[in-house]
A = this chain, B = another copy of it.
Amino acid sequence: MAEAHGGENLLFLTDEQLRQGIEAMFFAYRGFTADPDRILATMAYGRAHHRALHFIARRPGTTVNNLLGILGVTKQSLNRVLRTLIEDGLVESQQGKTDRRERHLTLTDKGRGLEQTLSDAQRARMRAAYRKAGPEAVAGFRQVLEAMMDPDMRRKYHAIREADT
C-alpha cells in the first residue's frame, strides 16, 4: 500500500498530502507545548522563559550571544526574560574569564528544579508518542523534522549536542 505511492514518485506529494502534514504540525505543536504551558501559567512565567531554561540547562555556561542565536529573538527580548530569571534566582550570570565582556549563564538549584519539572512534563508526552509510534516511526519523524529546518537552524540543532559526549 505504501508501495502504491512509489519511492520518489511525485504523485506521493499531492497537495492534499502536504496539507495534512501542515495540519499535523499545527495540531501536534499545540500538544507539544501544552503541558509546560499549563505549568507555567500557574507562575509568572511563559514559554519564552521555558525556552531559555531549556537551552541553558542543555549548555551550562553558554553566553548570551550564543543563546540569542539559538532562540532567534532580539537581545532586548531575551534580556527581559533573562533578567527576571536572574532576579528570581533561577539563573546565574557570570562574567567570562578569558573574555570578560561575555556573560556565562548557568542554572541555580532552583532553576534546575523548575527546568526539570517542565522538561519532565514535555518528555513524558514525547515518550508516550515515541512508544506509541515505535522506533522506526521515530527515525522518520526525526528525518523529516531535520529536513524542514533552515540550514542555519540545522547547524544549531547539531551544534547543541556536539563536544558533549
Task: Name A's B-contacting residues (CB within 8 A).
Answer: 2, 5-8, 12-13, 15-32, 34, 51, 54, 58, 72, 119, 122-123, 125-150, 153-154, 156-157, 160-161
30 pairs across A/B with beta carbons < 8 Å?
A2-B136, A13-B127, A15-B123, A16-B161, A18-B126, A19-B58, A19-B119, A21-B130, A21-B141, A21-B142, A23-B58, A23-B160, A24-B141, A24-B146, A24-B157, A25-B32, A28-B146, A28-B148, A31-B148, A31-B149, A31-B153, A32-B148, A132-B143, A133-B143, A133-B147, A140-B140, A140-B143, A140-B144, A141-B144, A141-B145
Using CB atoms, name the residue of chain B closest to A154.
Answer: B27
A20 → B minimal CB distance (Å): 7
Residue from A18, A147, A150 with most neighbouring chain B CB atoms (10 Å) = A147
Nearest first, the 9 A-B pairs at minimum CB distance are A140-B140, A137-B140, A129-B147, A28-B145, A141-B144, A132-B147, A133-B143, A137-B143, A24-B145
CA distance A28 to B150 in the complex (A): 8
Asked if A148 and B131 sit within 8 Å, CB to CB, the answer is: no
CA distance A138 to B157 in the complex (A): 20
Residue from A29, A51, A148 with most neighbouring chain B CB atoms (10 Å) = A148
Asked if B144 and A137 sit within 8 Å, CB to CB, the answer is: yes
Residues of B within 8 A of A27 (CB): 145, 149, 153-154, 156-157
Residues of B within 8 A of A20 (CB): 142, 161
Residues of B within 8 A of A146 (CB): 24, 28
